[in-house]
């Protein structure tokens, strides 16, 4: 695999087997690369202007921590290090190479920033972010990229495509939204105020505990949503295809539910539930005070 002119690079982090395999393939097959790395890695510190967004791509391990001023170091083989150019446009940090290259060593980029509001991870890019980030954070992951956050953030918005993977550990989250496509996997461990979920393809989204006054969940294809516990006042749920919602320990006061195809949902509704189940869909909704669920085809709705 060749890394071409204008390739944007940045960030990397933790162990994802798909990413490791892709990096290995990229570094061993680039026999026609314009630059070939040799020897042991060396480290260089770069002066950079202020930024609060990062773009990650290519076979780079990028680690971001919070600091009082922007700092950046790169560790790579000498030839590769000379080819990498850190660049800040507007408030977005990226690393580019004017020539294609091949390396048999890890490229490690270490960054400090006072604020971080967005992470973009593309291709086989990897990101690990640590620190006390007080702002709302957006995570945009594509390809087979990987993002791991062990930090404090006010809230997060997650958009994942391809076979990307996102893991969040840290402080509880306020109003947050999630959109997953393809075969992505997202795991959110702290308590999360859940506003909106959109999951399609064969993607998987998992929460520890959720809360919310009004929440909307939309699932399609072979997607799966798993929630261990929590409480929602008002839930609007749409399930299509062969999607599955496993949230039997989530206490829902009032729910509007529409299931189609062969979708499956397990909830615990306390006050009222209404909606419809069609096709071969299955719904288990607990023991609400009132229920008005229309069943069609081979579908089934029960307590």
CATH class given for the domain over 1-128: mainly beta
Q: In this predicted structure, what is the pLDDT of residue 186?
A: 97
Query: In this model, does residue 148 exceed pLDDT 90?
Result: yes
Q: In this predicted structure, what is the pLDDT of residue 134?
A: 67
- In this structure, the number of other CB atoms found within 10 A of the CB of residue 44 comes to 14
Q: In this predicted structure, what is the pLDDT of residue 279?
A: 96
Span 12-71, pLDDT tens digits? 333 444 444 444 444 434 457 899 989 999 999 999 999 999 998 888 889 999 999 999
Longest dimension (CA), the chain: 71
Q: In this predicted structure, what is the pLDDT of residue 199?
A: 97
Which of 81-100 are b and which e, b meaning 16 or more Cβ less than 10 Å from the residue's Cβ?
bebbebeeeeebbbbbbeeb
CATH class given for the domain over 172-303: mainly beta
Q: In this predicted structure, what is the pLDDT of residue 24?
A: 43
- Tell me what percent of the residues of the chain surpass a pLDDT of 70: 89
DSSP states of 157-202 as a string? EEEE-TT-EEEEEES-EEEEEEEE-TT-EEEE-S-EEEEEEEE-TT
Q: What own/partner pairs with CB < 8 Å and gap ≥ 24 does 195-202 have?
A: 197/225, 199/223, 199/224, 199/225, 199/243
Read off the pLDDT of each residue in 166-193 and give the average, rounded to a whole number.
94
Read off the pLDDT of each residue in 108-113 and give the average, rounded to a whole number.
95
Phi, psi of 83 (to 5 degrees): -90, -20
Using DSSP bridges, classify how beta strands 146-152 and 126-132 pair: parallel, antiparallel or unpaired.
parallel
Extents of the domains making up the chain: 1-128, 172-303
Category of 90 on φ-ψ map: left (φ > 0), alpha (ψ -120 to 50) or beta: left
More confident residue, 124 or 80: 80
Global pTM reads 0.85
């Amino acid at each position: 695999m060749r890394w071409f002119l204008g390739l944007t690079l940045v960030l990397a982090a933790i162990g994802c087997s798909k990413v490791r395999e892709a990096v290995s393939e990229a570094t061993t097959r680039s026999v026609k690369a314009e630059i070939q790395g040799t020897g042991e890695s060396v480290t260089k510190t770069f002066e950079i202007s202020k930024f609060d967004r990062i773009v990650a791509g290519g076979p780079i391990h990028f680690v971001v921590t919070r600091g009082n001023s922007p700092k950046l170091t790169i560790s790579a083989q000498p030839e590769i290090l000379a080819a990498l150019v850190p660049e800040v446009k507007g408030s977005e940090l990226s690393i580019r190479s004017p020539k294609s290259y091949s390396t048999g060593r890890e490229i490690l980029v270490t960054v400090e920033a006072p604020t971080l509001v967005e992470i973009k991870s593309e291709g086989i890019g990897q990101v690990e972010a640590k620190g006390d980030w007080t702002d709302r954070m957006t995570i945009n992951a594509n390809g087979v990229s990987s993002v791991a956050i062990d930090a404090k953030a006010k809230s997060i918005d997650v958009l994942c495509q391809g076979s990307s993977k996102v893991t969040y550990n840290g402080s509880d989250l306020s109003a947050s939204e999630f959109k997953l496509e393809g075969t992505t996997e997202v795991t959110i461990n702290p308590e999360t105020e859940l506003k909106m979920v959109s999951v399609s393809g064969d993607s998987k989204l998992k929460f520890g505990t959720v809360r919310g006054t009004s929440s909307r969940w939309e699932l399609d294809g072979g997607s799966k949503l798993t929630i261990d516990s929590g409480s929602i006042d008002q839930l609007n749920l749409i399930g299509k295809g062969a999607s599955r919602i496993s949230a039997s320990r989530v206490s829902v006061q009032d729910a509007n539910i529409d299931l189609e195809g062969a979708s499956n949902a397990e909830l615990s509704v306390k006050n009222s539930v209404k909606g419809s189940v069609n096709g071969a869909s299955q719904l288990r909704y607990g023991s609400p005070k009132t229920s008005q669920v229309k069943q069609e085809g081979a579908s089934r709705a029960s307590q």
